[in-house]
Structure 1
Amino acid sequence: MKRMTILSAMAATVAGMTAQVNAPEIDGYLSRGTLMYRDQNYQGAIDQLTQLKRMSPDSHQAEEADFYIALSRLYRGELSEARQLLEAFVGDYPSSSHMLTALMSIADCDFYESEYEQALARYNAIPESALDLAAAEDYRYRKAYSLMKLDDWDAAMNGFASLRSTKRYSNAARFYQGYIYYAQGDYSKAKELLSSVNTSTAPGNRADYYLTQIAFTEGDYDKALSMARKAMNTVAEFTPEMQRIAGESLYNLGDEAEAVTYLEKYVAATNDPKPSALYILGVSQYKSGDLDEAVSTLGPVTACDDAMGQSAYLYIGQAYLKQGNVNSALLALEKAYRMDYDKKVQETAFYNYAVAKMEGGRTPFGSSVTMFEDFLRRYPDSRYAPSVQEYLVTGYMTDNNYEKALASIERIKRPSSAILTAKQRVLYILGSRDLAAGNVSQALKRFQGAKALSSQNKAMATECDLWIGDCYYRQGKYTEASKAYSDYLRYSGANSSNRMLATYDLGYSRFGEKRYSEARQNFEKVVKQPGNLGQDIVADSYNRIGDCHYYASAFSEAAANYDKAYSLNPEAGDYALFQKAMMRGLARDYKGKLEIIDDMMSRYPTSGLMPSALLEKAESYVALNRADDAVKVYRDLVKRYPTTSQGRNGYLQLAITLMSQGNRRQAIDTYKEVISSYPTSEEARVASDDLKRIYADDGNLDDYAKF
């Protein structure tokens, strides 16, 4: 009877569960979705739970749906979507019982995307003690793997050691410990561990690959050959490397013919073959008379700065010689004889180089420059040394290698006039390059050095004055800049193409010195006779003339020149219009000022002068007693440009204007906003003083102190 009761109860429970799963209501979708998730039918789970979300679920149902949809995305490999959903889940349900799993899953997204440093940081933020056994094992494994990928070998080794006794990760832990020993060069321990793993499943199926590498590295070529042949078909991605090991092992065992067979397969299957394999193939091709193939195959090997690279250069040079390509042979042979890893190769290369040179080969200067420098180092007192020195300098300049040309010149104890002329030109060119790169101090030194050699080329020395002026101007040394520009104008010819440019630059340096009258004269010369200067520079000169008049309080003259600047270059006319408006304001024509500012703002809505224009517009309204309009503009200014100095000032002026209107509460709030937003600014200091007076007038200094 009791058994019957139990069976009946079970049947009732199953029936209830079935009814719940098949129910069309929200609970039915939730039950089906979670069951599909547990059955790893992740797309089905997403479909069911997404439908649930459309049915106005309660908070618990929505939480469960969001959680399992996010995990389903994760296990479908949709990492970007999963991350977004999980991060949203953490933010939406901070008290969820799934929080730990959600945080772990976000870390897993980083892990699966190979963002190991970020994954590790996330794992470390999760207390392992709060995880169940399976999750804790996953946690330790992924942390150890991330540490290994970040080359934190010791910590990774300890992490894998803690997994050695687990059922799921024991084999992987031993494999990765073996790999770490391999990467550290401890082949004895690596072999011990890698030999003990189960090779029928990943990652243990890769163990033979590393064991083969160890045998080859240790010079046990018979064993390496045997293991490579066996491992070729274990993991497809390792097949080419095993072919290389087999080929190079055979080569070291003296079987070159079979070695080439393997290595040809390896090279054909690899985008970036190792130089050792290419060297063996290239030498074999050279010996068999396939000279074009040998040169092509050995080419990448020459990137190796070692005996193999030196030998590759030798074979390439000899191949070119056999083809009659003497110049190319010289290039390769010179490389070979300048490398001293293998003295015999060096000797052979030098001999071949000398023979090719004697047969009439010619090389570009840059390829033989080192030879001449070696000559000077070995034979500093030779009677040919002066000629070699001049050849070096000329060659460097021909190759546009001016830094080396200058260094070579500086080593010459008694330079000839030709060398000094070359030095002046080198300094001039290097100075212009330094200035273009923003290295102003270095450029100035170069130009001054070139100018000091004026006896070699006076015209070039004069051009240096123009550059020297530019350097001083960029450094803010306007007096020195003015002198340099003046020197240029004094010594350059009347027909010099840069005279008007120098005049324009002199105007700017004098403007920087606040010598406005003299600056205006320079700019007036430019607008009267611009020469080859562009219309934009002429327009800019009119702007500066206007500025000079402005500083002299000649506002109508300033406005007239701003008009000319605008008419010449309306595309960049925002400054001219703005300044013209300012002149109207200084003449107390506030309506006219407003009209021009509105025109400027409509024409140039992206102008950098927009904050200033809004501030001036508001202040003009204040001057016209149109406080309401001023308030609107101030509000627009602080909304659009809160971080600018004009925005800060606008906040303060808004408070003052509101106060003048009797809007005491709004004014106080605005003063507080100024102080809170810009606590270290001058505007905040003024606002604080005003606010203090207001509170004092109200008898509420305690409230002020609290604020």
Structure 2
Amino acid sequence: KYDESYRLFGLLSQKSSKYNEDANYYKAYIDFQKKRYGSSTPVFERLTRSPKYKELASFYLLQTSFAEGKVNESITNGEAYLESYPKSSHNGEVYRILGNSYYRKGIMVNAISNYENYLKSTEKPFREDMLFLGSAYYSIRNYAKSVESLKQAVSYSDEVGQEAYMQLGLASEKQGDNANALLAFQAASRMNYNPGLSEKSLYNYAILLQQSSLAVFDQSIGVFQQFLQQYPNSKYSDNINDALATTLLSTKNYPAALSAISAIKSPGKSVLEAKQMILLQLGIQHYINGDTNNAIQRFNETIAMGFYNAKARNQAYFWRGESFYKLANYTAATRDYETFMTQAGRNDENYNLARYDLGYAYFKLNQYSKANAAFLDYIDVENNKLLPNYSDALNRIGDGYLFARNYSEASRYYTRSANQNPQNADYAEFQKAFVLGLQRDYNGKISALDQLMTKYPQSQYYDDALYEKSRALAMLDREKEAIPVLEKLMKNHAGSLLAQKGGIQLGQMYYNTNQPQKAIETYKNVVKDYPDTEEARIAVQSMEGIYKDINDIDSYASYVNSLGSSIKISSSRQDSLTFLAAESIFMKGQRRTSKEAFNKYLQSFPKGYYAADTHYYLGAIALEEKNNAAALNEFRQTIEGGNSRFLEEALSEAADLEFNDKNYPRAYQYYTRLNNLTQKAEVKDNARIGMLRCATYQNKDQEVVLAATQIIGQSKTTPEILKEAYFYRGKAYLNLKESDKGMADLRECAVDPRYVQGAEAQFILADTFYKWKSYDKAIVQVTEFMKKGTPHEYWMARALIVLSDSYAAKGDKFSAKQYLESLKDNYKGGEADITEMVSSRLSKMN
């Protein structure tokens, strides 16, 4: 159409004097649009003398000089135009041309002022001009305005977009917004419109990723490798190699780090130093995850590398000792602890802990003199006397002296422990009282036990205190005073193993104080409440003597007959010999033969005196054979038999098997019974952990809080278990709408995201802030999580989705989208929920 119009306007300009000027203007306009500036410019210059076309001609002459790159002329013409026509509708474009021209001249203040006026005239500015404006703001250090402008210039479609992303990265970095700087550098590096810019962007991305500690999913290592592959001859190669070595030592993705080292053809000393430390860290991560055998393998590899990294080698001995201890290989643990302390020296961060753990290893081996030597060394070198380990070591020293029958020293160390940690001194106070009894100071023992029960009414040693108090009173011939003590034990602690023994003592005391009917009633309660136990048999036998004394043997006979076969008063000789023969074979390790012998016993004596014991042994054999279903059936029969000889062991094994089968109600029942029954602190702790997990999986939040609180309150709890307790209690508190308590527990757990609970806690904290619409707090939480890093990448991915959602909720769609794009590109997990969450959000944004 332009060509035909141009021909007609040419004819008109030649033949019509009336329309000559108009026709020449439109011909010049068409020449301008066709970029035939040599033809349009002379005409526009003549028209500047025309009242009708002066303004338009001046405007097109300005545009012509700008299009021809005549920067000085554009500035002169533009300033003149604005002065002559301050209210022209074309002034927005004039400001744009002036802003662009001043930018090219390097006069940034004038560029900015003109561009700002240009922006007042349009809602859709040109992207190139927004790139220039952003760069101009950057040059005067107005980084916030620079970022704002550059976000309007970014695009994946051309070189302008690539340059804008690069500049946006630089401006965001200057603002301290490393997260968005990384996203921008990464975006620029993916485009190839300008290869030099791609290289520079990837370099900036790699270095900032390492320096900012915001790398996730092993990005740093992968990015450094990518850079060296894409740009092997880059001037930045040396810097990238140095950064890669540093990153290998700091990464939490240890397998990826080892893989990267393996890809190096001739690793130097520094890389081998890094490898030895990475092997150590990988072993520690296996240890944290409960994969103890693989942990030991990695520690072996660390030690086998020699002395490239002496610190890593020394630490490997310590952690291998910890692993052997966890596997109950206490002899091997002592060797490693000793080696570690010899090589590492007293200034090592784990030296004190190694002394403490060495004491426990010897303690477990019943080598109490060596244990005491280690614990005494520990309290000598430990400066922080507020640590739970310190007061615990004092208790163990007291125990060591107690086993050596050095009662005065035992009492001294129990007293030191109680004074050091009065909030958790119930064990020390109980042991002090017990020692007084051994020294035959029964009044002192009674007084000490009364103080214990007053100070610690919720103590796990309360039932022990009642039982021992009754024994002390009996030793002083104060049986009438002992009776209410035992009555309290029977009433308030019926599930305790001591209640069974206490029932026998209470019956005897009633009899001794001439209360035969109460004695009989008590013994009958023992038989009823604890059937088929040794105490039940003793109770039946004791009643025989009482009934004889009161000359009522008929009532005794009637009572015994009413029991039927539920109580086995004594075993026959054949019953006993058959069981003992089978047990002897078992103890010799002949499992197959002993299994046949035990089954033969049950065939001959299905309700025999040792039936419950036999079922336990058969359960143990089935467990060794990996026949868990058969093992569980046997352990259940031991539990139902009520035989206290193996009741603890059967409850422990059955609870674990039920838990593994996800039969949480039954497992919880067994763990609870075990917790009430056992007098062993370690068994009680394991029972409470089981109760905690079962309650969690059954969504019993109140029970979760109770079990977790008991675990957290123990002075000697491993870091792994503490994390778990805080984690589950925190979630339970949130469910119970006790948000402050829940968030406090989760923060405690989130401190160390090497643990899976710590990583998930980081996510829950961020997600909770997001749900509360505290978007800034959610962003801070995820950013801190990214800095810490974690080997548990699923929870990092979930946290990054929360980060994207938080930016979206704040209206920052750019950052929201970039985080999702980065997650899509870098996350290697294949979980369907992550894929769906990322893809659904991106599709909405697109």
- Which TM-score bucket, shorter chain as reference? 0.3 to 0.5
Identify the structure with bigger relative contact order (alpha carbons < 8 Å, sequence gap 6+). Answer: 2
Compute the TM-score of the two structures, normalised by the length of structure 1.
Answer: 0.48
